[in-house]
Structure 1
């Protein structure tokens, strides 16, 4: 792979465009307005076409002003359609942006005979050619695309940094923002203006369609990995840069490996962002699919472990000394599969609450103390539910069994005080005395 200064500039331009898109994109994700980025990126086409028809040139400022104006118009029209048309917000956006996008395509075809306008360039971008168009700055030739996207990034950083608190409160709770004296509507339309301006600035590098991914995917990944806005924005910025680097490297190296001559760098940047999103969706520490599966497995094993300890204790209450459960009975009693049975036996051995005998599994002293405390919690819940909630007697056991696994020592003491520490539960079963060790459960 031969790397030149053109490749470096392509990565820098892509990273600047992605960063500029990611910052307002985080707020779109928080506001559940991801479709707004899609809508504005498509709906600005009429503004571009009108600017071309009026000026008969591709000068940056007329194009920027026309597209930004139509982008703001998209936000206003969608709000009006939602308010006066009594339709859902996403439906209003769909109506407005598809109509404006269709109008833009018609105007582009009309303008194509009079100005040098390539519809594919508007839609898909030409980041590979962006380093060829330069401007002399302090004796150095800087690509104009880097200046435009870098300038837009600076504007976004300044505006969103200065209004960080106002934007944050307005994104999470517009009503609260209004009561605090923050004009939530002004914050909304300011954000829409930034989105429109950012979309236009990114046309040259990633185009109208591919900018949507840069606007939403980094923020979506940040939201998957963190619930704090500041951390979310930081993650989105890192993802934006990584997408640019990985995308261009992939565009250079991957096509020959799969039998293609080449591919577009902007498209590979989106593929890279999509790959990063899949990784976050699978391995995110809180919302990742695999992480949640592991957490649910651990929770299920903890509940099964506690159920087994309580079962052994109840057998001892019935006079079986010592109470023993055979290994082949373990899965059938607790409705566990082979893998979960093995994991459960490992956890029980490690906890020191059961011991393996020739006949099966029996409680240790530590396990008996823990199980007695669990059974006490269960029967206190049955008493409380029977007295204060009117739960039918045949439903008490199931409800108490669910609650006992989420009851802390403090809550158990509160239950005992509320119910008057009765000696027996509604079925007449003895409620064990509280154990001296009230430490956390393992």
Structure 2
């Protein structure tokens, strides 16, 4: 349902409306982000989609039995539909030999289709607009009640208690939910019932979907259950921080999405879903832990380090034959593959004091020679191990050792050295540096 565009969001006549929409959006998003974090970690994101769609037949049936659109019967009907969705999904998974995602797909599409059919059959009696199934109804938000001296959205009587229930249950069962999320076998071994925690979480998801359905529809419910937790998971590596960050993202989406939607006369749920997707895209690119930019930078740093070490090892081997010999800068760069990475690696070595450069070419400094000796030692120890322990031909060990030499630590080097007799040489008859 569209609303009239507001040119001045601070206009006293329209500000209460904007604030009411914003309050409901934030409450709904916080509830969804809180329980959605566990859905994402359990790889059950589709369950949120299933529950948010499957509540529709519960709403219709509840009206047919009660003849009322009041909160209590609609809430009960939708919750029962959500619990039924969870039960049917688990039943199909265990007894129907279906994977979890396939079982969820079968159940939620069937129940949602049933709800649409019932809505069409009894449309004249059930006062539910089909468009509200997807976008919700802002009339529910604009309808207010007076609490003390404040006018609050009537739906806050549902959204706020559900949020408080979610916070309370997650706080009380934090340890149990965390253990069953990451290792259900361990939870069972220490006496925590994984099925009970599963159905508890699914009940919370169903409650959240019901509380959100009439106001924001199925679009925002699914988006807020999945996108903020997924974005938070890319940015942090601790469960507590992930839950907190996903709630912050949900609240931010509620505030900014409302302002944008009201300003440009857009659908608030749709605007919030698009905004949440945009935040996820930014997290996927710029996250310091799992973002594309961070991984690209890490890969480049690793490549540059390997090239620097290759230059050091090459200069060391040249010095083994002739201590006074120097290598031209262009030849050194070409020997390690050329390109920007090689040139930058060489500049870094010169800046850090590992290599000196003059008109005659490149030479190792004392510190660079020590680093190079360690690399060559690792290389030749690994070659000796491959030949002596694994029986590889001598002409097949250089490339594997060249790849491994950049990643073996001191402990492994010493373990390899202990396998060799005093004064041993590598398979090519060259001295292994001390």
TM-score bracket relative to the smaller structure = over 0.9
The alpha carbon displacement at 1:171 in A equals 0.5
Partner of 1:2: 9
How far residue 130 of structure 1 moved from its aligned partner, in angstroms, is: 4.0
Q: Which position in structure 2 is the counterpart of 1:438?
A: none
Match of 1:264 in 2: 267
Point out where structure 1 has 5 or more consecutive residues left out of the alignment.
256-261, 434-442
- Contact map agreement 2:9 2:18 (CA 8 A) in 1: no
**CA–CA separation in structure 2 for the residues paired with 1:139 and 1:8:** 15
> What residue number does 1:319 align with?
322
Partner of 1:436: none
Instruction: Give runs of aligned pairs for residues 89-108 of structure 1, distance below 5 A.
Output: 89-108=100-119
Matches within 5 A, 1:357-436: 357-433=358-434
Match of 1:111 in 2: 122
Question: CA 1:320–1:186 in structure 2 vs 1: closer, same or farther (change >3 Å)?
Answer: same
Q: CA deviation at 1:131?
A: 3.9
Q: The residue matched to 1:380 in structure 2 has which SS? A: helix
What is the aligned counterpart of 1:132 among 129, 135, 142?
Answer: 142
In the alignment, is the contact (CA less than 8 A) between 1:303 and 1:405 conserved in 2?
A: yes
CA distance in 2, matches of 1:394, 1:242: 61
Pick aligned residue for 1:219 from 209, 229, 232: 229
Q: In the superposition, relative to structure 1, how do residues 46 and 312 fare at CA in structure 2: closer, same or farther (>3 Å)?
A: same
Q: 1:420 Cα shift?
A: 4.0
**1:42 partnered with 2:53:** yes
Q: CA deviation at 1:5?
A: 2.2
CA RMSD of aligned residues (A): 1.6
- Find the residue that maps to 2:397 and give its secondary structure: helix
Return the alpha-carbon distance in structure 2 between the equivalents of residues 392 and 247 of structure 1.
66
SS of corresponding position for 1:2 = coil
Give SS of 1:356's match: strand
Q: Does 1:278 align with 2:281?
A: yes
After superposition, what is the alpha-carbon deviation per residue over 1:331-388, rounded to whole angstroms, capped at 9, x for unaligned? Answer: 4311242x22332133112221011111332211211111011101111111122222
Q: Does 1:239 align with 2:246?
A: no
Deviations, residues 229-284 of structure 1 (Å, cap 9, x unaligned): 0010011011011111121222244x4xxxxxx21112111111111111110011
* Contact preservation (8 Å) 1:49, 1:104: yes
**Aligned residue pair count:** 423
Instruction: Tell me the residue number matched to 2:302.
Output: 299
Q: Secondary structure at the match of 1:142?
A: strand
Distance change (3 Å), C-alpha of 1:360 and 1:97: same
Per-residue CA deviation, residues 170-201 of structure 1 (Å, 9 max, x unaligned), is 00011111001000000001111110110010
- Matching residue within 152, 156, 176 for 1:146: 156
- Pairwise mapping of residues 321-336 of structure 1 onto structure 2 (< 5 A)? 321-324=324-327, 326-336=328-338
Post-superposition CA distance 1:292-327 (Å, at most 9, x none)? 000100000000100110011111112262331x23
Gap runs ≥5 in structure 2? 1-7
SS in 1 for 2:429: coil
Shift of 1:402: 2.0
Q: Distance in 1 between matches of 2:108 and 2:423?
A: 67
Seen in structure 2, the aligned counterparts of structure 1 residues 147 and 390 have a Cα distance that, compared at 3 Å, is farther
Determine the C-alpha separation between the residues in 2 that align with 1:99 and 1:359.
79
